[in-house]
Amino acid sequence: MKKITTLLVLSIVLFACSSKKEGNMIVQGQIKGLKKGTLYLQKMKDTLLVSVDSVALLGKDTFTLTDNVDSPVLYYLTFDGNTTDKRILFFGEKGVITINDQVKGFGYAPKITGSKNQAILDKYNTVSKRFQNQRLEFIKKDFDAKKANDLDLLKKLEVDYKRLTRRRVLYTTNFALTNADYEAAPYIALTEMYDASLKMLDTVNYSLSPKVKKSTYGKRFQEYLDNIKEAERKE
């Protein structure tokens, strides 16, 4: 009886292992220094963040997670389900994606390879951070000018800030146009072109390849434009 019970338990374990789903996207890598904890692969479904796979790390710091990707979208790699201060955001797509990081400063500067859309997003973010830093400098200068009641400087800062905004919009528009064959393009347009003109948004949308237009972010971008146009018609 004891042997039968042992065999039954072993069969259940083997079945559980063999039945683990295998998707068309494999996320693998190493979190140096992580000896105990659980990594979750998560993504947005409607308005909820759902876990699609997980792995418990007990004494090892390497991992493999999978999911089926119909359309490239952003995924979260979270440590113990904490999505606020311990997470890695990356563009998921078909194929093998490698993510290497360390438990100290998890999510701060991960190395991600294997995702073409992520590579494009990384390239955009490099320049975008420069614009963000310049914007922070303007905010500080504006604060100091108001404190000193320097009206001439305030007027100059206002003009310079508008120029900075235009440069950022033009750069983002051109970047999306240049990468119109990738799903990162409509994602960037959705999240970074909030102060662009409708003409610029339409130009980006028109340039998207048929494949990208049918993607998750391609459809959302189209809906975004339709809503803007509908709102303008009602005014």
Residues 16 and 73 in one domain: yes
Residues 99 and 125 in one domain: no
Domain end, chosen from 91, 112, 133, is at 112
Residues 44 and 79 in one domain: yes
Domain with 33, as residue range(s), is: 2-112
Q: For residue range 18-36, what is the model confidence (pLDDT) as tens digits?
A: 445 578 999 999 999 888 8
Chain mean position to CA 132:
17
Q: For residue range 38-70, what is the model confidence (pLDDT) as tens digits?
A: 999 999 998 899 999 999 988 889 999 999 999
Q: Where are the beta strands (DSSP E) in the chain?
A: 25-32, 36-45, 48-58, 62-67, 73-79, 82-92, 95-102, 111-113
Residues 38 and 72 in one domain: yes
Residues 14 and 98 in one domain: yes
CATH number of the structural domain spanning residue 43: 2.60.40.1120
Q: For residue range 120-134, what is the model confidence (pLDDT) as tens digits?
A: 999 999 999 999 999
Domain end, chosen from 112, 146, 177, is at 112
Chain mean position to CA 227:
23
Residue 105: C-alpha distances to residues 52, 109, 122, 123, 127 (Å): 24, 8, 19, 22, 23
Domain end, chosen from 84, 112, 140, is at 112
Residues 84 and 159 in one domain: no
Q: Indicate yes or no: pTM above 0.95.
A: no
